[in-house]
Amino acid sequence: MKTRDGHALTPLEIQDLVNGIVDQSWPDYQLAAWLMAVYCRGLTEDEIFALTGAMAFTGAPLLEPLGIVDKHSTGGVGDKTTLVLAPVMAALGFPMAKMSGRGLGHTGGTLDKLESIPGFRTELTIQELRQQIDNIGVAVVAQSAQLAPADKRLYALRDVTGTVDSIPLIASSVMSKKLAAGTKHLVLDVKVGNGAFMAHVEEAMQLAQLMVKIGQHHHRRVSAILTTMNQPLGFAVGNAIEVNEAALCLQGQGPEDLHEEVVTLATELVHLVTKESLTEARKQVLAVLDQGKAWDMFGRWIDAQGGEFHAVAKGLPLAPVVLVWEAQDEGTVRAMDTRKIGDVALNLGAGRHRLEDHVDPAVGLMCYAKIGRRFEPGEVVAEVFARSKESAEEALRNLKSAISWGEPTETDAHLVLGTVRPDF
């Protein structure tokens, strides 16, 4: 194979490859061999641009974009950003139609969080989606199987062949779906740290730069912001519990890091669309939050997709067994094993080990520990919400083992680790 031997494929060869993926004429064993060749040899930028375009536009890409702006996160623990960002952008007058996925493993899924709201519908037809965007300017729905169909098959093969963490394959997978959805302005939230897919800034920056270049090649305005995942985002980890925290954030009462991340991503999107200065864009974002316009839009959005907003407004109910961890001694949080904290929520039932697993919307945890925070004796470090005393006790034991104490390094708690913007 050319890729195995280090020779670049032509755009026509790449299109033939993608056609064969979609129509099943390429068997799994041949595709698996090609994926391993890519993993070992890599692809040129031109190959990556061609592969992403072929994957995006083979299938049923949307000829007319549904919204003006979009956002993608590479996945983390406690990442409920979309729940806050989407109504903020709609309140600013920038329609946001986002196709999201479900959680698997230690990272949560936006759809699982939204489906913890009674009555909320994540399956909409394209016609219903367009109508909702026209009416209120915001919608978040399940990913369409018709968009970038080659990616679904390739991703399944990457999972079983150990080639998931190939940067060219990650970039083409993410960007093919975004290109197919048609949105012209995209911000990428690239998570970095022990709770993220990318553990180190250097590899995350390489991925971010590549995805921005892909966007630029295909005439999309794309920025990437590298954010830390060496600790959960916000305090809440779970489904209903994260919806409750997002609602508080929209009312000016949420955790500082969640508020700052939403403001940073929203500011970047306003800047991409309007080309206004980041300072002016940030003022606009803060205004719709401070004036309650984003909270009002959140309610309209939940209602539009069949959800019971009154249930969200009073706080979604959580699992009945609650265990509280109070600090016994004074101490400072030195570091956190974020993946392990995600696994605590996963094992409580908030996530999936396999795609077919049932998700319990009411279980989860509140982890008030943040790197550098000092606790006094008696202060609450965390709370666990579980279905049984046994699962709660196990969760609390594992949570305690995920947090270490001592003096942190100076850079550990920085939220934004870098930014990549387009040249044009």
| SS3 state at 405 | strand
Q: How far is CA 136 from CA 86, 91, 116, 132, in A?
A: 11, 9, 22, 6
* Distance between CA atoms of residues 30 and 9, nearest Å: 16
Least Cα distance to 185 among 146, 227, 224, 139 occurs for: 224
**Is position 173 annotated as part of the catalytic site?**
yes
Asked if 87 and 208 count as a contact pair (C-beta separation under 8 A), the reply is no
Q: Hey, which residues does 384 pair with through a beta bridge? A: 323, 365
* Distance between CA atoms of residues 250 and 242, nearest Å: 12
Q: How far is CA 308 from CA 60, 115, 251, 297, 299, in A?
A: 33, 11, 18, 14, 9
Q: Hey, which residues does 324 pair with through a beta bridge? A: 383
Of 72, 191, 352, 370, the catalytic one is: 72
Of 70, 79, 112, 151, the catalytic one is: 151
Q: How far is CA 156 from CA 150, 203, 331, 391, 407, in A?
A: 10, 23, 45, 32, 42
Q: Which two tokens stand for residue 343?
A: 């696994």
| SS3 state at 221 | strand
**Is position 290 annotated as part of the catalytic site?**
no
**Is position 334 annotated as part of the catalytic site?**
no
Of 80, 158, 213, 370, the catalytic one is: 158
Q: Which two tokens stand for residue 182?
A: 């048609």
Of 71, 177, 191, 271, the catalytic one is: 177
**Is position 177 annotated as part of the catalytic site?**
yes
Burial class (CB in 10 A: 0-12, 13-18, 19+), 130: middle
**Is position 296 annotated as part of the catalytic site?**
no
Of 116, 144, 166, 173, the catalytic one is: 173
| SS3 state at 15 | helix
Q: Which two tokens stand for residue 229?
A: 């995942």
Residues in contact with 317: Cβ distance below 8 Å, sequence separation at least 6, in sequence order: 240, 362
User: CA 85, 76, 244: angle at the middle one, nearest 5?
Assistant: 50
Residues known to be catalytic: 72, 151, 158, 173, 177
